[in-house]
Amino acid sequence: MNVTAAALLWLIMGFVLATWPFITERRFGLFGAPAKPFWFRLLELLISYGLLLGLGWLLEASVGRIQSQTWNFYAITVLLFLLMAYPGYVWRFLRRRSRQ
C-alpha cells in the first residue's frame, strides 16, 4: 500500500468512526438501547479515536518506519477527529425535525 492510499483510507475511516456514535442508537454499534445518553456518545467518540490511532499506527507500519510523535500531533489529530464528528453531531442534535 502506498502512502496516498494509506492516508485516504485513514481519513475515510476517521470520518466513519467519528460520525458513528451520533448516527446509531446502538451502544458500540452492537447492543440495542432505548436511548443513549450524551456522556455515552462521548465515551464512544473517545474509544473511536483510540481505534483510529491504532489504525494509523498499523497503516504507518505497513508503509514504512513508525515515527515517534509528540503532544502536538495528538492535539491536531483529536481536533481533526472532532471536526469530522461535527456532521454527525448536527444530524443528531441540531437538525430540525418536521412535526407530524
Which pLDDT tens digit goes with each residue over 8-46?
A: 999 999 999 999 888 887 777 667 777 778 888 899 999
**pTM for the complete prediction?**
0.82
Whether 100 is in a domain gets the answer no
Q: Is residue 99 part of a domain?
A: no
Number of domains in the chain: 1
Task: Return the higher-pLDDT residue of 54 and 67.
Answer: 54
Q: Is the CB of residue 43 less than 8 Å from the CB of residue 5? A: no
Rounded Cα gap, residues 4 and 19, in angstroms: 23
Distance between CA atoms of residues 21 and 38, nearest Å: 10
Which residues form the domain of 72? 3-94
pLDDT value at position 14?
92
Structure-derived torsion over alpha carbons of residues 7, 69, 19, 10, reported in degrees to the nearest 10: 10
Is residue 31 classed exposed, middle or buried when 0-12, 13-18 and 19+ CB atoms within 10 A define those classes?
exposed
